[in-house]
Amino acid sequence: MMASGETSSTEVTRAALDTIEKREPEINAFISVDADGALLQAEAVDDKRRRGQPVGTLAGIPVAVKDLICVRGSATTCGSRILDGYKPPYDATVVAHMRQADAVLLGKTNMDEFAMGSSNENSYFGPTRNPVNGEHVPGGSSGGSAAAVAAHETILALGSDTGGSVRQPAGYCGVVGLKPTYGRVSRYGLVAYASSLDQIGPVTKDVEDAALLLDAIAGRDARDATSAEIAKADYFEKLNAGVEGLRIGIAPEYFGPGLDPEIRTAVETAAGHLETAGATLVSDISLPVAADPDYCIGAYYIVAMGEASANLARYDGVRYAFRAEDGVSDLQQMYRLTRSEGFGEEVKRRIMLGTYVLSAGYYDAYYLKAQKVRTLIRQDFERAYERCDFLLSPVAPTTAFKLNEQVNDPLQMYLNDVYTVSVNLAGLPGISVPVATSAQGLPIGAQLLAPAFEEAGLLRVARALERLSSN
């Protein structure tokens, strides 16, 4: 529509900003909005089009960015008091790619503090509400990005996925969330929570948009040592090719006790749709470690908390952002008060647990053992993909729960990640696709998983499932 002159980027951007102004008081999906800057970017794209100049693949399209991805000159808080007011002097690589693609950057979305949470209730800037039903959470930690897309406050959004933080909120809000293979998208400029697990991914209205955004941000980056030397695929070549001849694995461990019956039915129905469309369902696949909460949840939180305790040691009140002032008499006290006042309860809990599992005398018993379990999880997936091309599972054991329902029960909160954390431990790609609606009117998502760097095939199956589920 913009290319044909039927509308303009300025009009689309104004519509997004109007929706933000209308819905933000009830949703709180954004931490900051750069309305003036967004309109200037939109006008620049419109001017390019008027002059007949070439434009990028995201030309004039509004994009929201999770507030742990650095945008030059814009506050990047990670949802934390300790970074309140910090403005990075550089762009993250994904932001630089979006600028090159002529996207319009709207602002920074709300999130669980330092990406630590599954509900978006751990933000210093207040919780985000699910736009489908404001009494429920949007999921986390990329809940602000998912809520913004679902509420039509933006067309596209970026989140980050450490243990399901793109896929789970996408499932809760009824949008598409893609976690790429570890190394597919540069992490340069992503404020680290757990460096071996974090990956930036698209949150979009549909699968085609996810392919569009992934195409813009993927690729090797010399500034990121974990960026893979693997060329990105053509994500559109077979996007609409269907699923005939593909093998879809169904592991029984994903359908055990604790799974909501409505979600079980929805995922089984999704499997039936894929089979009707020509895919072969492979049900004799087992993931004894990767899908067992005793292993995957335990290993994930030990690894993630250990890495978090190391990554968050840099926030000490000396270098930048928040520093405690009242009652400070010496350097050590300044450190203590800054971190005590600057971090929220969940972040402090994870730092303490992470420090414990890395400490002398406990490293071998906890962190090293968790890394060994991580290897077993990867081997589980490798064996499964010898028998199938893709895997289908639930995204979460329940639909979006109510605000404050689990906030005081961290162990129960951690179990919401049971179907997603193994994917991060193994470094594999996964995508959440909306497939049904519960009796309460809440979205239900299905998760598709693929071997490493097979995002093109993953998007192809997700696109087919999206179409079949909408019929």
Q: What is the pLDDT of residue 292?
A: 94
DSSP 56-120: -TTTT-EEEEETTB--TTS---TT-GGGTT---SS--HHHHHHHHTT-EEEEEE--SGGG--SSS
**Residue (of 382, 429, 388) closest to 247 by Cα position:** 388
Which residue type sits at 227? S
Which residue type sits at 393? S
Measured between alpha carbons, how far is 75 from 83 in angstroms, rounded to an integer?
9
Give me the residues of the chain with pLDDT under 50, please: none
Compute how many other C-beta atoms are within 10 angstroms of the C-beta atom of residue 141. Answer: 34
**Residue (of 125, 100, 95) closest to 113 by Cα position:** 125
Contact between residue 58 and residue 216 where contact means Cβ atoms under 8 Å apart: yes
Q: What is the pLDDT of residue 163?
A: 97
Contact between residue 214 and residue 97 where contact means Cβ atoms under 8 Å apart: no
The active-site residue out of 9, 74, 141, 160 is 141
For this structure, is 165 an active site residue?
A: yes
Q: What is the pLDDT of residue 202?
A: 98
Q: What is the pLDDT of residue 298?
A: 95
Q: What is the pLDDT of residue 410?
A: 82
Measured between alpha carbons, how far is 296 from 415 in angstroms, rounded to an integer?
10
The active-site residue out of 8, 74, 165, 227 is 165
Q: Which two tokens stand for residue 323?
A: 């520093």
Query: What single-letter DSSP state applies at residue 317?
Result: S
Q: What is the pLDDT of residue 4?
A: 93
Q: What is the pLDDT of residue 392?
A: 98
- Fold adopted by 9-217: Amidase signature (AS) enzymes (3.90.1300)
Contact between residue 325 and residue 94 where contact means Cβ atoms under 8 Å apart: no
- Domain boundaries of the chain, sorted by first residue: 9-217
Compute how many other C-beta atoms are within 10 angstroms of the C-beta atom of residue 379. Answer: 13
For this structure, is 48 an active site residue?
A: no
For this structure, is 141 an active site residue?
A: yes
* 286-310 pLDDT, tens digit each: 999 999 999 999 999 999 999 999 9
The active-site residue out of 9, 66, 179, 232 is 66
Q: What is the pLDDT of residue 319?
A: 85
Q: What is the pLDDT of residue 414?
A: 87
Query: Strands, DSSP E only, in 152-267?
Result: 156-161, 176-179, 199-204, 247-249
Phi and psi angles of residue 35, each rounded to the nearest 5 degrees, phi first = -65, -45
* 19-74 pLDDT, tens digit each: 999 999 999 999 999 999 999 999 999 999 999 999 999 999 999 999 999 999 99
Q: What is the pLDDT of residue 84?
A: 87
Q: Which two tokens stand for residue 348?
A: 């402090």
State whether the Cα torsion 400-402-407-410 is positive or negative: negative
Q: Which two tokens stand for residue 464?
A: 């087919």
pTM: 0.96
Q: What is the pLDDT of residue 85?
A: 84
Rg (CA), the chain: 21
